[in-house]
Chains A and B, each alone.
Chain A
Amino acid sequence: MDRQRKVASRTAALIATLVVILSACGGGATQSPAASTGTGASAPAASASQAAAASLAPCGTVNIAVNPWVGYEADAAVVGYLLQQKLGCTVVKKNIDEQTSWQGFPTGEVDVILENWGHEDLAAKYITADKVAQDAGPDGNEGVIGWFVPKFFVDANPDILTAKTDPTILNKYAAQFKTSESGDKGQILDGDPSFVTNDQGMINGFGLNFKVVYSGSEAASNKAIQAAVDAQKPILVYYYTPNWFSSKVDLVHIEFPAWTPGCDKDATNIKCDYPPYHLNKVVSTKFATSGSPAFTFISKFKWTNDDQNGVAADITSNGMSDDDAAKKWVDANQSVWQAWMP
Chain B
Amino acid sequence: MTGLAAAVQPRTTISVGRAGQLLVVAIIFLAGFLVLQGTASLPHRDDSQVFLTLNGVRDWVDANRTSNPVFVYLLGPIRAAIDGLDDMLTFIVKQLSWIGVMAIAGTLAFALVSWRTAVGVLACLVTIGLLGLWTETIQTLVLITNSVALSLLIGIPLGIVAGRNDRFLAFITPILDFMQIMPTFAYLAPLTLIFLIGPASAVIATLIYSMPPAIRITALGIRGVPVQTVEAAASLGATDGQVLRKVQLPIARRTIGLAVNQTIMMALSIIVIAALINAPGLGESIIVAIEKLKFGDAVTAGIAIVLLATVLDRITASASGAGVPAIVAIGPLRIPRRTVRAIAVAVAIVALAGGALASAGSSFPATWHVSIAKPLDDGVRWVELTFAGLTDSVKNAVSAGLLDPIQTVLTKSPWWLVVVAAAAVAGIVNSLRAAIVVAIALLLIVALQVWEHAMQTLTMVIVAVVLTMLIGVVLGVWAARNRVVSAVLRPINDAAQTLPSFVYLLPALALFGPTRFTAILAAVIYAVPAVIRLVEDGVRGVSPTAIEAATAAGASRLQMIRKVQLPMARRSLLVATNQGVVLVLAMVVLGGLVGAQALGFDVVSGFSQRNFFGRGVAAAIGIVLLGVMLDRITQGTGQRRSTRSVVGRLGIGLNSNRVSREAG
- A residues engaging B (CB < 8 A)? 10, 13-14, 17, 20-21, 24-25, 68-70, 94-100, 103-104, 106-107, 109-110, 121-122, 179-181, 183, 189, 192-194, 196, 213-224, 226-227, 230-231, 244-245, 315-316
Contacts and interface: CB of A to CB of B under 8 A. Distances in A.
Contacts of B29: none
Nearest to B279: A95
B515 A98 contact: no
Given A25-B357, A218-B291, 12 more contacts: A24-B362, A94-B197, A95-B287, A96-B277, A99-B189, A107-B196, A180-B516, A216-B592, A221-B514, A222-B293, A226-B510, A227-B510
Nearest to A230: B385
A104 B510 contact: no
Given A104-B197, A110-B197, A216-B596, A21 B608 contact: no
Contact of B510 (A24, A215, A223): A223
Contacts of B404: 183
A100 B192 contact: yes
Given A13-B367, A100-B192, A223-B509, A95 B595 contact: no
B48 interface: no
Contacts of B611: 121
A29 to B, nearest CB: 11
**Which 10 A-B pairs give the minimum distances between C-beta atoms?**
A194-B608, A193-B605, A215-B514, A180-B399, A223-B509, A216-B593, A220-B514, A24-B360, A13-B366, A193-B608
B595 A227 contact: no
A183 B403 CA distance: 11
B452 interface: no
Nearest to B276: A97
B497 to A, nearest CB: 23
B275 interface: yes
A116 B358 CA distance: 46
A222 B593 CA distance: 13
16 contacts: A10-B367, A20-B361, A24-B360, A68-B291, A95-B275, A106-B65, A179-B513, A179-B515, A183-B404, A193-B609, A216-B597, A216-B601, A217-B594, A217-B604, A223-B509, A230-B388
Given A10-B367, A14-B367, A181 B196 contact: no
A181 B597 CA distance: 10
Interface string B513-535: 11111000000000000000000
B27 interface: no
Given A181-B595, A216-B601, A230-B384, A99 B66 contact: no
A21 B592 CA distance: 47
B514 A224 contact: yes
Contacts, number: 160
A10 B361 contact: no
Contacts of B388: 227, 230-231
A234 to B, nearest CB: 13
B664 interface: no
A177 to B, nearest CB: 13
A190 to B, nearest CB: 10
A221 B396 CA distance: 19
Interface string B306-328: 00000000000000000000000
A100 B189 contact: yes
B170 to A, nearest CB: 38
**B interface, size bucket:** 35 or more
B603 to A, nearest CB: 10
Given A96-B278, A109-B198, A219-B291, A180 B365 contact: no
B56 interface: no
Contacts of B517: 180
B561 to A, nearest CB: 35
Contacts of A110: 197
Contact of A214 (B359, B362, B385, B601): B601
A13 B132 CA distance: 13
Nearest to A235: B513
Interface string B271-302: 00001111000001001101111000000000
B481 interface: no
Nearest to A221: B514
A94 B388 CA distance: 37
Contacts of A217: 593-594, 604
B32 interface: no
A180 B396 contact: yes
Contacts of B196: 104, 107, 109
Contacts of B601: 193, 214, 216
A96 B509 CA distance: 24
A157 to B, nearest CB: 21
B292 A316 contact: yes
A122 B611 CA distance: 10
B277 to A, nearest CB: 6
A180 B278 contact: no
Contacts of A230: 384-385, 388
Nearest to B385: A230
Contacts of A245: 293
A274 B88 CA distance: 49
A70, A107, A183, A227 pick with most chain B CB within 10 angstroms: A227
B277 A99 contact: no
A160 to B, nearest CB: 21
Interface string B10-42: 000000000000000000000000000000000
A193 B604 contact: yes
B337 interface: no
B223 interface: no
Interface string B588-615: 0000111111001100110111111000
Interface string B402-437: 001000000000000000000000000000000000
B359 A24 contact: yes
Interface string B171-197: 000000000000000000100110011
A247 B127 CA distance: 35
A10 B132 CA distance: 13
Contacts of A69: 291
Contacts of A226: 293, 510
B395 interface: yes
Contacts of A315: 292
A70 B189 contact: no
Contact of A10 (B358, B366, B396): B366
Contact of B197 (A13, A100, A227): A100
Interface in B321-365: 357-362, 365
B585 interface: no
Interface in B480-517: 505-506, 509-511, 513-517
A194 B605 CA distance: 6
Nearest to B356: A24
Contacts of B596: 216
Given A181-B595, A222-B293, A97 B608 contact: yes
Contacts of B609: 99, 193-194, 196
B267 to A, nearest CB: 20
Nearest to B604: A193
Given A100-B197, A224-B513, A216 B604 contact: yes
Interface in B612-640: 612
A21, A109, A181 pick with most chain B CB within 10 angstroms: A181
B593 A180 contact: no
B608 A70 contact: no
B389 interface: yes
Nearest to A107: B196
B400 interface: yes
B506 A219 contact: yes
A223 B510 CA distance: 6
A29 B183 CA distance: 46
Contacts of A213: 514, 595, 597
A141 B516 CA distance: 36
B406 to A, nearest CB: 14
Contact of B362 (A20, A95, A99): A20
B288 to A, nearest CB: 8
Nearest to A212: B597
Contacts of A107: 196
